[in-house]
Amino acid sequence: MRTRHIFSIVALLALCLALPARAAEPVGKVSRLQGKGLVVGYNTVTDLAVGAPVRPGDTLVTLADSLAEVSLADGSSLTLAQATVFALDRYEFGPDKSVAHAALRLVGGAFKAAVNKLGQVREPDFVVRTPLATIGIRGTTFWGGFLRADKFGVMLVQGTGVYVQSEAGKVELNQPGEGTWVNLATGALKPVAQWTQQEKDMAYATVTFK
């Protein structure tokens, strides 16, 4: 009960801070859902549902024992683990690739991102901010989040790499299976290393639909 209470407070604060100045046009939709969740947008709070549109400024919340997958306009996808709060602060993609920007934000929980066309522009601008570090992406698939309340990490699943940057430093993940851990107290990044199979399995389990 205590964990759920803390999560409810964090989620409520995130929702209050995430409201945009006005409603924007949809840039994607919920493509898969297991369990329940919320979409908080401009003066609206609606249930997560397959086919529901998502817009820049929306905050997505999954509840306990729930997972959600979101498909974006460039073909990228986001999979949100249970008890996750994730904000789409900014997302722009032009079919001719002349406009390509994404600024996303993990407030709590865990997620997997598979970046498609937006990561293929000459200078990709795709970042995910987290409570501990910023993750910058080139065309790739990666996992990031809390494996436990005291353990936050980022792992490259496949693709051309990501960087993880905090106030204490910056590292790059270039090989599938490589990851780093962030010290919750100092923001220090552990040296890049292949995650153990147990660590990989734990990460994958958080974003795997039943």
Whether the model clears a pTM of 0.75, i.e. scores above it, the answer is yes
Cβ within 8 Å of residue 173, ≥6 positions away: 142, 154, 155, 156, 161, 162, 163, 164, 179, 180, 192
pLDDT digits (tens, 9 = 90+) for 71-95: 998 888 999 999 999 999 998 877 6
pLDDT of residue 139: 73
Of the listed ranges 33-37, 141-145, 152-156, 161-165, the one predicted with least confidence: 161-165
Please state, in angstroms and rounded to a whole number, the distance separating the CA atoms of residues 210 and 67. 9
Chain Cα centroid distance, residue 16: 19
**Could you give the percent of the chain with pLDDT greater than 70?**
83
Task: Say if CB 157 and CB 176 are below 8 A apart.
Answer: yes
3 band by pLDDT with thresholds 50, 70 and 90: very low
6 pLDDT above the threshold of 50: no
122 pLDDT above the threshold of 60: no
pLDDT of residue 102: 87
The domains of the chain are located at 2-206
54 three-state secondary structure? strand
8 pLDDT above the threshold of 90: no
Please state, in angstroms and rounded to a whole number, the distance separating the CA atoms of residues 97 and 164. 25
Query: Which CATH code is given to the segment(s) 2-206?
Result: 2.60.120.1440
